[in-house]
Each structure stands twice: as structure tokens, then as C-alpha cells.
Structure 1
């Protein structure tokens, strides 16, 4: 277990991270645009020190839930990537996001989302660091997750099982490399947890069944789930039927069960207008 004293104010990464974030925001305000369109409904994360939920002015959406931050060991690995690879970058400030898919407290997939870095090798280094986050101590609280779940229809191995797909927004992380190059790292974890009703622990066959959802289906649904949570309110034309807010988790489960087909009418993505909408 990492020593909590590593996160004390004397930590050199904390000081450097705070300075780096300030420099990054000055450059962005002077003309650089790193707005993250459809992302990952996210709050961002800073070198060891949580900086709170603050996306750009245009995309500042209160997240449904924020839980924890990256383990200190994972942050150190990301910082090591920056120190080794930022010399190959062309700009002084970047923002990059990663979607981490977690099943049964194990990382199943890591993918970059939104703006990218100039160097694929540096991105791979950061993705490899995030693949070890569960081993470094990151875990979700299954007790908390239960209240966010939706029940699947009882059938086959998934009978009487609650499947809980959810986005967990981690605290912002900023890493800095030689020459003052700074990178804001946005991490959103897509948690797929299986809980057997009336039992404390999920059965192994249930967890394996969830893992067998085709990867393409999981990725398609996760991307739509990200859009949904980043744009949580129904458009005016949908509120009479579905209320003011979208039921993003329920729509995600419907998507998984329907082979990746997102229920567009129930949880319309930004800008979507159904073809049968009456014209005023």
C-alpha cells in the first residue's frame, strides 16, 4: 500500500503539478482550445492532488458521481512517461483523455478519447501505466454502485443479476516534462460490475458472462453512455414522454442487450432530432 504521506503538500509533484496546471490554463485562455466535445463527462485530474470538477466553460457539466483519484503509483508512472517522452512533443500544453474499462476490479481495456498527443509512443506509455491502476490500488465500492444499477431481464446465466455500468470521473491529473511541457490527463472509468441479488459477491460465471459481451458492442455503448452523461437533460421535444433527465444507465443496458444499438429516442445524443418529430 502506498504511504499516504506521498500526497503531503511537500510532494514535489504537487508543487510542479499546480504550477503546470496554471500555465496550461493560461495558454488555453490565450487561444489554445482543448474543449472535449462529447467526452467523457469528466472532471479532470492533477498530479497527485485532486483539483475538483472543472471542465471548460462551454462543457462544464456537473457529473453524476466522482469517486477518488488515480493511485499514487499510477501517477508516478504517468509522470515518468512525461519525463521521458515530452521532448518529442511540438507544443507546450496538451489535454488528453483516456477511457478505462473496468470489470470486477480488473482493467479490461484502455483507449484514448478526444484530443491526442503528437507522439504515439508517449500515448502508449500512458495507456500501459493506466492498465496497472487496479494492481496499484484503484478499486470501486460495489456497495455504492448497487444504488446506481438497473436490473436485466431474468434469463440464462444472468437471471437475478444486477448489472451496473457506470462512469466514474477521477480527479484531474497534470504531469510535466522537461522544458515546461504540461499534459492534463482526463481519466474516466467505465465500470461494469455484476452483483447477484441476495448475495454479497458476484458469481464467477456471471462476471465471465459480462466479459463476453463483444468488445465492439461494449465500446459503442460506452461512447454513447459518455455522451449521455455529458448531456444529461432531455431536449424540449422529449420531456413530455421521458421527463427532464435522461436515464443514461438504463439506456446503456438496453444498448448492451441490443448488440450496440443505442435507444436514440429515449436517450437522444446531442443534436439528434427524430425523423418523425412534428414540425411546428
Structure 2
């Protein structure tokens, strides 16, 4: 029995030695998503700001401490100034964003699904993109007056351009094999748009949507300092006249929070809608 076991072991050893060595797979992906990871950078900046203020490294007149800014925000909120300006800014941004988003999607569909539409629309949009949008402000004031209309119109232009560009690029990048397959399957025009075009263009559309959300806030902060009587930009402009740096920082922080929150909402919506995709970010 011992001799048989020895012989079997001796035969198995060379056989095992001949098996190829299994190489350990190297992990190249970024790893698991960390909860609330995008807040780490802003919190680090806030911590450095607080530390520098506490150490006296920052001039309080030029860059007030975070606690000073928070006290100012609390005072403005209590006296009713800040809620009114915040609601006014949100309303302007919402109206302009809705109009720009609708226009960008419709123009991208018309241009991406039709050669005639592309000939009429794409060159015009590219020309509009080459013209600085904020440079249109004097002309729009002459056309629409100094009220709310011109502000909403400028925000809509800022929004529709990135939405159109990214959605049109996504539509143009759809593989022609999917188009041929849809023709073989006998899909109608509406079914082709719903089952092939929209799913294929959604990744690019969400890229444009994120740029549009950020652009709406960037345009708003400029527009509200031009012939405005309310809004966060108007609050900051008035604070500049009186040298109130803490009020200016309150407005900037609120704009930053709005921008970060809206971008996070778009990212969450993108992950839910495009849950079928397996990417590095997921």
C-alpha cells in the first residue's frame, strides 16, 4: 500500500508541474464607489479655509472666515432678503433651463435624423456657438427690454447649445448596423426612434445635460448683475458697492451649492436611466 501511494505521488508531481501557472488577475478598475465621495474635495477646501482663517493667514476684510459667512447668511435669511433672492434666481434658472433643454433636444433630433434638417440647423447652431453668448446681452436688451425676458432668453441659449452639440454627436455616432437591423426588422420611424435612437443617444445627451445645468448657473450669476432688482447676483452686486465681502461669499457659496446639487441630481438620474451600461464609473 505504501509503495502504491509513493508511486501515485511521484506520477502526480510531474503532472502538476506541467500545468500552466495561473497568473493572478490584476485589478485595473478604479474600485468600488465611495459613498458621498464628491463631497471630500469641497469639505477639504472648507477645512483649509477655516484653518487659514483661524491661524490669521487670511485678511478678514478680503476673505472672511467661514463662521463669519455663516452668520451673515443666517442674518440675511432671518430678515427675509436671502429667501426672496434665492427663489427669484431659482425661478429664472428653471424657466431658462426648461426652454433651452426643450429647444436643444428638438433641434438635435431634427438635425440628427434628417439630412435636410442637418443642412438647415447644424451650421446655424455652430455659428451661434462661435458667438459669445454673453456678448448678445446688449442686443437682447434692445430687443426684449431689461426685464425678465432677456435674462431667461440668454439662459436658454446657454443651455441649448451644449445639449444640442452632445445629443447631435451621439445621434451621429449611432452604429449604422443598428439602422440596417431596424430596417430588416421592419421597424416604423417612431419605433426606430424609440428603440434605437433614444437609447443610443442617451449617454451623450446626459453629458450635454450636465454642461447645460452648470452653464445655466454661470449665466445667471452674470445676468443678475445687469439691470436687476432681485436675485443672488443683484445681492452680490449691491454688496460690492458697499464692500461687503461676506455677503459676496454667501452668494458664491449658494451658487456653488446649487451647481453641485443639480449636477449630482443629473448624475443620479444618469445612473438610473443607464443602469444597463457597465462602465468604469459604475
Q: Shorter-chain TM-score: what band?
A: under 0.3
Higher strand share: 1
TM-score of the superposed pair, with normalisation by structure 1? 0.24
TM-score of the superposed pair, with normalisation by structure 2? 0.24
Larger Rg: 2
Higher helix share: 2
